[in-house]
Each structure stands twice: as C-alpha cells, then as structure tokens.
Structure 1
Amino acid sequence: MFDHTKDYFNVFLRRESFFDMMKRLYDTFKDERYFGTYQGSIPVLTVCDPEIIKQITVKEFDHFLNHKPIVPTYYGVDPLWSKNLFSLRDTEWREMRSTLSPSFTSSKMKIIFSLMTECADNYVNYFLKQKKPIETECADNYVNYFLKQKKPIEIELKDTTTRYTNDVIATVAFGVTCDSINEKENEFYRMGKKTTTFTFLSNMKFLMYSIAPEFCKAINLQLFSSDIYHFFNKLIKDTIEAREKHGTVRPDMIHLLLEARKGKKVDDSSTEVIDTGFATVQESAIHTSPTKPIQEITDMDIAAQAMIFFFAGFDSVSVLMSFMGYELVVNPDIQIRLQKEIDDTLEECNGKLTYEALLKMKYMDMVISETLRKWPAAVITDRVCSKPFTIEPINPGETPVHLKVGDSIFIPNSAIQRDPKYFPNPDTFDPERFNDENKGNIKPYTYIPFGSGPRNCIGSRFAILEAKTIFFFMLSKFTFVAIDKTQIPIKLSKKSFNLAGENGIWVGLEQRSK
C-alpha cells in the first residue's frame, strides 16, 4: 500500500483537479494491478486490472454491494442524500433499484422521446411566429433561440446545456414547464445550479464527512442548504397532490414510487431490440426479478430519488454535452461527417426526426461513445466491501490482499479509458474506435463510463438519448466553431469535483447555409 494522503487534500484545496490526480496516480502505478492510497484517514484500494474489476462488480457482487456512503444513512443528518438510490445499501438498495428500473427501459425512452419532440414542435412554432406563449421542453427550444440571432454568437457550453437538461428533467420527471434559456433565473434552474455547484465550503463538508463522520453527526452538518430541502420537498408534495387530484399518470419514477407505496409493482416486459447506443449499460437480472414491495415509502424517500435523478441529469449529462461540443470544435472533420449523417437522416425522415431513426445513426453513436471514453462524467466508481474477500497474488512480488468489511475500493474508469494499452493514442478523439469493426475488440471492463455490474448507472439510456437529441437539432442548424474564448487545449477546473473547463467551455455557433 502507498500513502498519498496529500493528493486528496490537494483536490479539496483546489490545487489539482480530481480527474488529473487520478490519471497521475494511475500512470505512476501503471504496471500494478492495484495500489493503495488514503482518503483523509481512510485507506482506499484503487483497482486497475480489468479482471479484478469484473470480480468486484459482477462475479463477486455480493461481496461489494454498496457505494461508500458520503453521508451514512443511519446518521439521519442529511436524508435527501442518505436516502437516495446512490446511497442506499443492501436490501434497501435492491428493492429501490428494482422499483425504479422500469422508468429507464428502452420502451420508456421512446415515450420520453415523443414528449420531447412534441414540446420541440411547440417551441419551434413559438420562435417562428413570435405569437404563442413560451412552452419549453426540448432541443428545438435552444435551436430556434439561437436562430433568432443575426450573427454567430458565443456560448458557454456548460451553462447552455444545463439549461437544456434542466428543462427536460422538469417536464419528463415532474410535469413542470420551464424556459431556462429565456427565463435565466427561474426557480427550477436556480435550485439545480445551487444543488450541483461545489464551492470551497462544499468541498470542506465532503472532506469532513470522509474523515470525521461522527463529528459531522454531532454538529448536524448538512451538505445542502435549507432552501434546497424546502424546494425538493415542496416540489414532490405539490406533484403528488396534483397527480392524485387529477388522476395524472406519467411514465416516470414518481409514478413508480407512488405505485410501490400502494403495494404495486409496475412490470415492463418490453422486448424491443433497439437501444440508445453502445455505451448503454444493461440491467441485471436482480433488478427485474420479483422482490417484496418496498414498505413505508415516505414523501422524503420520493424526494430523495427525485433529487439524485435531478442531480445526475442536470450536471452529469451536461458534462457529456459540453465536452462533445468542444471535441467537435477542435475536430471539424468529425463535425462535418456527423452533420452529413444528420442531413441524410432528416431527408430519410422527410424532415421529422423519429426515435428509431435517431438511434440507428451509427456515427452519432460513435461520437457519443468516444466522448464518454475520453471525458466520462464519473471520474471513478467505488465499492465498499460487505463480506471478507481476498485478491490472490498473480504477478511477481504480489502478496494476498485481504479486504475486510467496510474497506473502500476505487475503480479509476477515467484513467483506464486513457490507458494506451487499451486505447492507442488515448488523447486523440477518434470515434472510429467504436465502428462496427473495432468496437468488438475493446477489452471487457476497460470501457465503463456508466460503471459495470448490477450497481451500474440506472440512467445511461436517458443520458445518451438526451445528448443525441440536442446535438441532432443543434448540428442540423449550426456549426460549432472556435472563438477567442475557446481554450485549446482545454484545461480542467480545479474548483470542481466534476469535469469542467478551467474558464468554462466557450464555443461559437455559426448558422449553416441551406
């Protein structure tokens, strides 16, 4: 084991980005199957070998069921965080994951896509005619907003894409209409921004929870401010009351949780073969097998699931969109080829995009997949040992590693996906890695942008569909170009745990000639 305590403190003190730190540590021990560090006072085993990753996340999953809790559930200090799907443990997690899985099937994505396109038509008509009241939900909202501009305009991609993801989540999950591109400070967007912005104080809270959880409990230290709690609790309460009053049924997680509260389990036996893309993770059989109904689902439980869905959808998906936009700017040949595929698809659809047509676009999926390889929103995934487990030695000089209950495991997926032995010339943005001929040669468990095994990301289909939709509409009308503010090569911000540009990710939009 190696002591790299100072590395984590450098991240918390904003001296190095989390992405750069993990890449540096991985490269330092590139010939090792694993290495040890300390996160504060807590030892962490970082696993680099694909076969061990398979063992931990799939074959011996029962030994590594849980994530390391940022705020331990039993403390009761921060219920919005400790009760969400990411933080739940053991049986509680199994039951909640099984309940929520039907929200993210391919058939549900098709319904969600239909909702998006209906809203997009309304949005296009508003901006074209300048008569109808603003109704926002989808990609065309943003396309037509920019079409009104008479000259190429400068945009910061993270800001722009979070406004899009905010509006999609608002309508798909909560049935709330937002227009974050025009109404810049609407409450829904403002709370989303506040929830996902990690200030220096936020970093210190995370650090305190990682090294002194009992002290945090004693002083009742909460990750989020009281207005965020009030917002999500009121939002869920109002949504539930409105649905029960009007008998509203929407294909989302709130509906599934309300049904589970009544003792019902929604079955989705869809056998559709079309899926959102190569990077989509598949649901494990344990999520679709019968389980006993979750008992005593409270409004707080529902609010906690809504919060984590909002958190992931608002910020993580916008990371994918932001870095994809950047890569299209610095790789114009790739952008031209993608626009050609978009133009051909529109022609085949007679000008109206369909769900099936979008998901059959091979080059679009290749570009998305390569973005997720080079810039995964999750820098690491983690597990906690729940049963004693031993990693047996294989290489010369190794000794058995005996993991005990409570030991933490990091899987540095972002660094693995930049390893030249798995992905030659890893810093080059090359969608051809994912063409029909090459993608089958990718070594299993070296490409895991959404994690692996039963505890993978539940929202991979949603994220990929959302990104494909916005880029289809944007690139059908605009070309992403470099401007004076575009930082090439990009440098990562040291102020955020999440991937972000040091000075934002600025690009220009030039309207395409017909």
Structure 2
Amino acid sequence: MKLFMLGTTTSICSVFILFILLLRIYTYWYRKKVKTGHVTPIFGDTLYVLLGIESFPEMIQKIYNKSQDIRYIGTYQLHMPLLLIRSPELIKEMCVRDFDHFLDHRPMINEDLDKLWAKNLSSLKGNSWKKSRSAFSPSFTGSKLKSMLPSTCRAAESFVQYFLSRVGDVVEVDCKDIYSRYVTNSVASLIYGIQTDSLVDQTNEFHYMGREASGVNNMKKRIVLFLHQLFPEIAKFFQMSFFGKEIDDFFINIVKHKMKLLEEENMKQTDIVGLLLEARMGQDTLAEETDQTHAVENRVKGKDIHQYLTDIDIASQAFVYFNASYETISSTLSFMSYELAVNPEIQNKLIQEIDNNKDLTQNFDAVMEMPYLDMVISETLRKWPNTPATDRFVTKPYTIQPTLPGEEPVHLEIGDNILVPIFALHRDPKYYADPERFDPERFSPENRKNINPFAYLPFGVGPRRCLGMRFALLQIKVAFIHILSKFEIVPVEKTDIPLKISRLSLTLTSGESLTLGLKKRIQR
C-alpha cells in the first residue's frame, strides 16, 4: 500500500510539474502582453502541419489572419515562442534600421553534425557572417553575371532541343522533375564547372544528390529538422545528421578535387568555386570585380578576407548556392509555367515580347530588362514565394515601442525569435487587391511604385536577404526566353486546376507532381 501511495504521489507530482512547465512555456507571450491565438499544448501552432493536414505556408497565413488590426502576434512552433511581425513598417524598422539587434538567423541544423551547413552564410553569425558575406558577394557582381550568360543559354538551348526532339505536337511533362534537371545542368556548370545532362542521363549523380539534399518532403528529414531546431541536444545525442555523410562527402570532395587541379595544372577558372579558390590562393580574380566598398570590407587587419576561407567554407557556401537554386529556381519555373498555362492571354503577350527581342537573347542587359518578362516573374514570386517566411534571432535586447491604441512596450530578450510572414504578406488584400488573381500588371512601371517594398519580400529582407537573387532571376529569365521561343505551355488532362500545394514541404512547392504540356509552336 505504501508503495502504491508513493507511486501515486510521484505520478501526481510529475503531472503537476509538467503542467507548470507547459503553463510557463505557453504563457510566454501573454506575460509580455502580446496577443496570441488558440495554441495546442506541446504542439503549439504546428499540430496540423505535423499531421499533414495543412502546409507550412497555410499555417503562417492562418496565424497572420487571426487579427487584422495588430502589428504583431505571438506564435509557438512546438515549444518555441516566435513573434510574427505583421506590419511592413515594423519589419523595416527591425530588419533594416535596427538590424544590429537581429543579426542572425535562428540555428537550423547542428553544425557539428552537418559540415556542409556549418559555414554557409545562412548559418553563420555576427562577425563571421559579415566577413564571409564580404568574401562571397563578388561572386554575383554584374560582370560575373554577364560572364554566366553564355553557359546559361547553352543549358536552356539543350533543354529546349531535348523536348523538340520528342514525338508529338504536345509533350506532357512533370514540371517539378524537368525543371530540377534543367537547374542541375545549368547551376552545376556555373558553380562547380561540372557538365551534366540530367535529362538524357536520368540517373545522373549530380541530380540525385541535389534531389536528396533538398528533400524536405521526406518525412524522416522533416522530423530531423524539427529535432535540430527544437530539441538540439536530442539530435546531437543520436548523431542525427540532416544531409548525411554521402551528401557531405560528395560536395566537399568536388572542392578538394578542384583545389588539386588548380595546384597541379594552374588552369584558369570561370566557375564560382574555382574563382573562390583562386582568390584564396592570392590570384584574387574576384577582388578585381569588386567595388571600393567591398574592397575595404574585404581587408581584415591588412589581410584579404579570401585568405581566411577554408575548403569547408567554400564547399559549404557553394553547396547552399546549388541547393537553394535547385529548390527555388525549379519551383519558380514550375509555378510560372502553371500560371502561363491557365492564363493564355498573359502567355501570348509574353511570347510577343520574346519574339520581338529574339535577336537580343545573348545580350545580358536586354535579357534582364525585358519589361513584361520581369512583370510576370515578379508576380509569380509574389503569389508563389518559395520561402513562405524568414526569421531573425534577437542578438541584442530590443523594445518594440507602442504606436497603436492598446499596445504596450514589448521587451525582446537575447535568444527570442521573430518571424517575417512572406507568404501571408504577399496574399494580404491590404497590399494586393484580389491577391489570389495572377496579375503581372501589378508590377508595371506605373504600378510598381505603389507596392510597399516591405510587403514584397520573395528574396528576404535587409542585409540578410538572398545574395544570389540576380543569379536566380538570370536563370529563370533565360529559361523562359528559350522555352517560349519554341513552345506554348498548355494545360493537359492531368493538370490540377486549381493548383495543389504540397503539405509535406516546409517551402512552397506544388503537390506530388505538376503536369503540363509543351505545345510546339509553328515556326515562321
């Protein structure tokens, strides 16, 4: 009986302690006098995402829409509190003007377990991020991007010729698959100097590694990612690597092999990894392309910043360029293809612009400045931003001062997290009339000036925004110039209308497949 009573008492105490702990966790924003919606204990706001009932972008939008007249709202990812910022003006204030209080992203993956992730710009913090940003920024200067155009065009031409050779007037394609292969071919060459043909060689190793590395649709990887973010000690104890040794070794060995070639053959490099390795060796090809501001930033105690880069530093950043391109560019190409297929009047107008400029497709400035092409891509990124939200980690205490009736000062402490809800801002009728409608005219030269720049954030915000933005836009523009010069994109019987988005991915992607038709144009 005593043992039974002791066991019962222990159980009651354990339940009471758990209750107090959960109460402490899930009243975090209440104690700071920040409004929250209904929160499920243990799961926070993420229960339906974990169950696959709603997507991560849908969850962000649901939280954002809980209240229309507030600048911020408290949310919880499992047991982690985050402050979701609803006001573009407050986003500007926190992520630009007061950026030094929000220098870092919150840790995503344990750097001791994933070497490839440890040294990239997304995960680096403080001064390490500042130094590396200065070192990597010259990779995407105007002159560097211009030098990429011929290789990008070759990849697009090869892509188009592959489908022109297929039998039939309309070629059915899985957009997610074919565009990931196009990106593999183009970006592997530009970043690593490696030529691949993932369309012809369906088992191409580079494409396989890219698919495996970006596979957050994989349930196992989603669980590992959540553990890394929310229970890092558990992930570390069980040595739960997100990318895995096979992927780490593959991309690191490419850099080591290129370094060996540089030392033995002294070959001139044109790809990004080769240029970074040359710069580290003192040949400084990249530094020559950098403006005076970067030149000053690139000096640390009299020594060029590139000389601090290790093989792992370069491999890590190159991998993130490749991985982000694989996911972001292929996803944007898929969504834009869908919108053109279901909006033929928009597609016809774009085809007309491309036909009128076909003699200028090898001209970098002409490619980047086609006005209607730019409008269509901008609207695609508005409606379908690959990254539904971005975050910041509080690195210095910060107080949000009250400006609206009923607000009180919100004191953020070091280690708190804020969330910028990109997808929800892009779908807010306050900033975009009829936001579900695909309307490139929003981004016409006359209308673009009316868009709040902090309510349009497809590549992030502030100094931490995507370094490869113009690189991605170049890939997307060249792809569509070549595709639409030979094909119309049309719906087919298998096309899901309206489009379904994946509930398994943490980024914004279409469902399991996105099937469309490439209809061969009659060439005159």
Q: Same fold (TM over 0.5)?
A: yes
Distance in 2 of aligned mates of 1:184 and 1:413: 35
CA contact (8 A) 1:45 1:409 kept: yes
Residue correspondence of structure 1 range 259-274 to structure 2 within 5 A: 259=278, 261-262=280-281, 266-267=286-287
1:290 deviates by 4.0
Aligned residue-pair number:
478
1:257 pairs with 2:266: no
CA contact (8 A) 2:193 2:270 kept: no
1:432 pairs with 2:468: no
Distance in 2 of aligned mates of 1:412 and 1:288: 35
1:328 pairs with 2:340: yes
1:159 pairs with 2:171: no
Corresponding letter in the other structure for 1:216:
A
1:253 deviates by 3.5
CA contact (8 A) 1:14 1:494 kept: yes
Identify unmatched segments of 5+ residues in structure 2: 1-28, 30-35
Distance in 2 of aligned mates of 1:369 and 1:484: 28
CA contact (8 A) 2:138 2:289 kept: no
1:72 deviates by 4.2
Identity level (%): 41
Corresponding letter in the other structure for 1:379:
P
* Deviates most, 293-302 or 22-31: 293-302
| Secondary structure, counterpart of 1:68 in structure 2 | coil
Distance in 1 of aligned mates of 2:144 and 2:293: 18
| Secondary structure, counterpart of 1:437 in structure 2 | helix
Corresponding letter in the other structure for 2:64:
Y
**Matching residue within 443, 446, 460 for 2:455:** 446
1:219 deviates by 2.1
- Residue of structure 1 equivalent to 2:6: none
1:13 deviates by 3.2
Alpha-carbon RMSD = 1.9
Distance in 1 of aligned mates of 2:223 and 2:466: 26
- Residue of structure 2 equivalent to 1:503: 512
Residue correspondence of structure 1 range 349-368 to structure 2 within 5 A: 349=360, 353-368=362-377
1:30 deviates by 2.6
The alpha-carbon distance between structure 1 residues 167 and 252, as it changes in their structure 2 partners (threshold 3 A), is: same
Distance in 1 of aligned mates of 2:471 and 2:109: 26
Distance in 1 of aligned mates of 2:267 and 2:397: 48
TM-score (norm 2): 0.87
| Secondary structure, counterpart of 1:267 in structure 2 | helix
Distance in 1 of aligned mates of 2:511 and 2:222: 17
- Residue of structure 2 equivalent to 1:188: 206
Distance in 2 of aligned mates of 1:356 and 1:408: 40
**Matching residue within 144, 150, 154 for 1:108:** 144
CA shift digits 1:407-429 (9 cap, x unpaired):
11110011101111111111110
- Residue of structure 2 equivalent to 1:132: none
- Residue of structure 2 equivalent to 1:69: 107
- Residue of structure 2 equivalent to 1:50: 88
TM-score (norm 1): 0.89
Q: In terms of Rg, which structure is larger?
A: 2
- Residue of structure 2 equivalent to 1:298: 310
The alpha-carbon distance between structure 1 residues 286 and 7, as it changes in their structure 2 partners (threshold 3 A), is: farther
* Deviates most, 481-490 or 18-27: 18-27
1:169 pairs with 2:205: no
1:400 pairs with 2:409: yes
CA contact (8 A) 1:39 1:210 kept: no
* Deviates most, 218-227 or 103-112: 218-227
1:56 deviates by 1.5
1:178 deviates by 0.2
1:14 deviates by 2.0
Distance in 2 of aligned mates of 1:440 and 1:11: 36
Identify unmatched segments of 5+ residues in structure 1: 121-137, 272-283
CA shift digits 1:159-206 (9 cap, x unpaired):
111101111111111111100011011111111111111211111011
1:302 deviates by 1.8
CA contact (8 A) 1:103 1:252 kept: no
**Matching residue within 245, 267, 270 for 2:264:** 245
| Secondary structure, counterpart of 1:71 in structure 2 | coil
CA shift digits 1:415-460 (9 cap, x unpaired):
1011111111111100001111000111131111111211110000
Distance in 2 of aligned mates of 1:467 and 1:307: 19
